[in-house]
Amino acid sequence: MRNELFTIGPFTVYGYGLMIAIGAFAAYLVSEFRAKRLGLKHELIFALFWWCLGGGILGAKLLYLLTQLKEIAADPSILLNVSEGFVVYGGIIGGILGGFVFCRIKKLEFLKYFDLVMPSIALAQAFGRVGCTFAGCCYGNDTDSFFHIIFHESKFAPNEVALIPTQPLSSGLNFLHFAVLVFLSRRVKADGQIAGFYLIFYSAGRFILEFFRGDLVRGHIGALSTSQFIAIFLFLFGIALVIFCGKNPKLQKGSLSDNENKDSGEDSE
């Protein structure tokens, strides 16, 4: 795999950046389409997208820096590198906080929009992991298995070594995650449950995949990687969210508190 896809004059198109851009655009389009079907305020999705994206980038960068405190103390110039070094969980948490603030400002029902965007987040992550495959970051452990990937020009992964293909595996799981969440969105009984299922499924998958990762620049807390440690808490929070929302009468689909759907007169997905 090559990260530098092609160059036009002084402009170089990188596979990682291209896949991130495609994932973000796809997430926006899907969110706006589903907002129209759900009778939500689809005209606000573009602004919501930028709030979530901004919060996600900031959160991903901050969590990465927290995992690199020793290295930063030894070499503060790491702080000047703004184009590399992000942690997905920081992006998820930051994006959720950005969306929450936006919904509070616009006086929107947060859990409805939380449910709306989380399948799209899974879709964006799927394209993002394709970008990781181009770049060679987030690579797997050495393997003797026939099921492997070999990088030749990566700045991150060891080249000419058979590695567990963690990036394609993660991408495939995220595409599946997106499809499952969209399927469940037509069947859950309460607002907030799709967001809870996202946290459950993603955290479980990420916790397991971390055992097969070979890149060491991720931080560790005891025997667990930083992502595994966070995954435990988000997994439990996801379960609690699904149960709490399912038992709260005010959050039930079709309840009288469902003002936006009732006022719009449109069918739910």
Over its length of 269 residues, how does the chain's per-residue pLDDT go in tens digits?
Answer: 778 888 888 888 899 999 999 999 999 999 999 999 999 999 999 999 999 999 999 998 888 888 778 878 888 877 777 766 788 888 999 999 999 999 999 999 999 999 999 999 999 999 999 999 999 999 999 999 999 999 998 988 999 999 999 999 999 999 999 999 999 999 999 999 999 999 999 999 999 999 999 986 666 788 888 889 999 999 999 999 999 999 999 999 865 444 444 444 444 44
C-alpha torsion angle, residues 185, 40, 106, 86 (rounded to 10)? 40
pLDDT at position 101 is: 97
pLDDT at position 218 is: 64
User: Following DSSP, what letter does each residue of 233-265 receive, concatenated?
Assistant: HHHHHHHHHHHHHHH-GGGBTT-TT-HHHHHHT
pLDDT at position 41 is: 95
CA count, 13 A, side-chain hemisphere, 79: 8
pLDDT at position 20 is: 92
Q: Sign of dihedral through CA atoms 256, 260, 263, 264?
A: negative
pLDDT at position 217 is: 64
CA distance 235 to 267: 31
CA distance 239 to 242: 5
Residues 138, 167: contact at Cβ < 8 Å? Answer: yes
Amino acid of residue 211: F
φ and ψ of 147, to 5 deg: -90, 90
Helix, strand, coil in percent for the chain, rounding step 5: 65, 10, 25
CA distance 158 to 175: 27
Residue 114, token pair as written in the block: 């939380």
b/e sequence 146-179, b meaning 16+ C-beta within 10 Å: eeebebeebebbeeeebbbbbbbbbbebbbebbe
pLDDT at position 267 is: 45
pLDDT at position 261 is: 47
pLDDT at position 269 is: 44
Residue 253, token pair as written in the block: 């689909």
CA distance 119 to 81: 31
CA distance 117 to 31: 6
pLDDT at position 254 is: 62
